[in-house]
Amino acid sequence: MAYSLMIITGIMAVENLQRDWYVVYSNPHKEEQAQFHLALKGVKSFFPKLHIPAGCENKGRIWPLFPNYLFVRIHVETECHRIVWTPGVKKIVSFGAEPIPIDESVIYFLQQQADEKGVIRAQSKLTCGQEVEISGGPFDGLMGIIQAPPDNRGRVKILLKLLSRQISIKFGVEFIKGGRTAWAPVGCS
């Protein structure tokens, strides 16, 4: 009887411990596997992903927001071993030998942007018909009109007028003036 009371008390003590968010480094392309196995162990985790629409249609592709990284909420002194022995996990990100917690507001911000599956929907600030300036490369300074917003590889189809002809060329968003900020979470302006 005293033994089972001790177990229950021990479980209660573990449940009441202060948990912080930590960064976990996973094996390549194994973030979802690690998240699955962490959930089986009762560990709260968060793996943010980004949905980037392709072209003008509603299709798109989902990419890890931070490839090979996910977040776990643990009491590091008592639960660290549960993380490092999880399939798909390589290590807890540390500075020196000590894991460093992530500020809860960072995780909260990402979770507010994401849906229940951890997917943050992005939309392009670059729109069809928008006039833009090319910056860099051989077309530096030329003006063009966007024919299609950025695809999942970050390439924008631009209509340029060259030598009295209109031609359509794909450019990386980095060659569009202001294009580096071409993506924003849906709902943000």
- pLDDT tens for 46-75 read 999 988 765 544 566 788 999 999 999 999
Query: Is the same domain home to 116 and 25?
Result: yes
Query: Is the same domain home to 101 and 148?
Result: no
Query: Is the same domain home to 40 and 111?
Result: yes
Give the model confidence (pLDDT) of 35-46 as tens digits: 999 999 999 999
Cα torsion 115, 117, 118, 123: sign: negative
Query: Is the same domain home to 38 and 92?
Result: yes
Cα torsion 46, 76, 36, 85: sign: positive
Query: Is the same domain home to 99 and 176?
Result: no
- The pTM assigned to this predicted structure is 0.66
Whole-angstrom Cα distance, residue 177 to residue 140?
Answer: 10
CATH number of the CATH domain containing 29:
3.30.70.940
Cβ neighbors of 137 (< 8 A, separation 6 or more) are 171, 175
Whole-angstrom Cα distance, residue 89 to residue 186?
Answer: 31
Q: Residue 34: which domain range?
A: 17-123
Give the chain's domain count.
2
